[in-house]
Amino acid sequence: MNKTVIITGASRGIGRAAAVKFAGEGFNIVINSVSNTDKLNETEKLCLNANPSTQVLAVKGDISDSAFVKHLIDTSVNRFGSIDVLINNAGISFVGVIQDTDDETWQKIINTNLSSVHYFTRSVIPYMLKSGKGSIINISSVWGNVGASCEAAYAASKGGINAYTKSAAKELAPSGISVNAIACGLVDTDMNKCFSKEDLDVVCEEIPAGRPADPKEIAETIYHISQCPAYLTGQIITIDGGWT
Ligand SMILES: NC(=O)c1ccc[n+]([C@@H]2O[C@H](COP(=O)([O-])OP(=O)(O)OC[C@H]3O[C@@H](n4cnc5c(N)ncnc54)[C@H](OP(=O)(O)O)[C@@H]3O)[C@@H](O)[C@H]2O)c1
């Protein structure tokens, strides 16, 4: 029986690249996004191009809604029988000083980036316990490690993910379930479209590798971490071209 992976935020960027990678490796794929139906359908087609025998379930919905998350997990198990890998990838950013980060913006960033990780982990654990194994990979950021001026809410959400990852790893290691985070540096996706080319060039000058990561490089990393022994757990693995 094929293994199954759930990837949130897979209509674009890192999530899409991860979906295509796992499809090519023979996984059944569950993909999600919040609003972009056309792009989510495109990801489904790319997965089928990568592996015509793969099965793809696309579920649109908001990961900051715990009832939706439970529905997504239950629907995935009904369709594929089990969940082997969960990739908590979807996320949003906000660039602005702390004084301009109003309650609504703060709640949206924290709920989308951090609360969702708890909702997914909580809902998937019973199924992973049943199969006695599983890999949970949370997509974090170097800003969660070192903080970021003008991105305090985002950095706090990612720092929260790092602490949650280490906590969940401790709780779940006795059951053979690994929990790790991948802290990305600059990645070439829509998330950075808010910055000018000049701004991004300045950032690239600070990155020893001299460029942003290609989403496919992050997808490769995610896949390889998911295939490591469960003894690799509780780690925040930074992939940033030597930046931080
Ligand atoms: N790009 C970077 O430089 C960078 C660096 C460090 C970490 N990261 C992290 O990497 C992850 C992926 O980022 P990316 O750069 O690939 O982003 P992206 O290209 O902007 O894509 C974001 C994805 O998340 C989905 N999404 C947003 N809000 C959602 C919600 N409430 N419910 C469900 N899906 C939602 C989007 O769906 P729609 O298309 O429907 O909007 C889209 O599929 C994020 O956690 C981000 O923080 C990125």
3-state per-residue secondary structure call for 130-187: HHCCEEEEEEEEHHHHHCCCCCHHHHHHHHHHHHHHHHHHHHHHHHCEEEEEEEECCE
CATH of the domain at 191: 3.40.50.720
Whether 223 is catalytic: no
228 CA to centre of ligand 1 in angstroms:
25
User: How many whole angstroms separate alpha carbon 45 and alpha carbon 23?
Assistant: 11
115 touches ligand 1 (CB under 6 Å): no
Q: Cβ(213)–Cβ(189) under 8 Å?
A: no
User: How many whole angstroms separate alpha carbon 85 and alpha carbon 4?
Assistant: 7
CA distances 144 to 22, 23, 121, 209, Å, are 26, 29, 19, 21
Number of domains in the chain: 1
Of the candidates 154, 164, 223, 231, the residue annotated as catalytic is 154
Give phi and psi for 59, each to the nearest 5. -125, 110
Pocket test for ligand 1, best of 44, 68, 113, 184 (most atoms within 8 A of CB): 184
Q: Which amino acid is at 187?
A: V
112 CA to centre of ligand 1 in angstroms:
10
Does any domain span residue 89? yes
2 CA to centre of ligand 1 in angstroms:
27
Does any domain span residue 69? yes
Give phi and psi for 137, each to the nearest 5. -125, 120
Q: Coil, strand, or helix at residue 18?
A: helix
Does any domain span residue 65? yes
43 touches ligand 1 (CB under 6 Å): no
Does any domain span residue 168? yes
How much is the pTM?
Answer: 0.98
Per-residue pLDDT of the chain (244 residues; tens, 9 = 90+): 799 999 999 999 999 999 999 999 999 999 999 999 999 999 999 999 999 999 999 999 999 999 999 999 999 999 999 999 999 999 999 999 999 999 999 999 999 999 999 999 999 999 999 999 999 999 999 999 999 999 999 999 999 999 999 999 999 999 999 999 999 999 999 999 999 999 999 999 999 999 999 999 999 999 999 999 999 999 999 999 999 9
Closest atom, ligand 1, to C-alpha of 188: 1
21 touches ligand 1 (CB under 6 Å): no
Does any domain span residue 244? no
Q: What is the pLDDT of residue 1?
A: 79
Residue 101's domain comprises 4-239
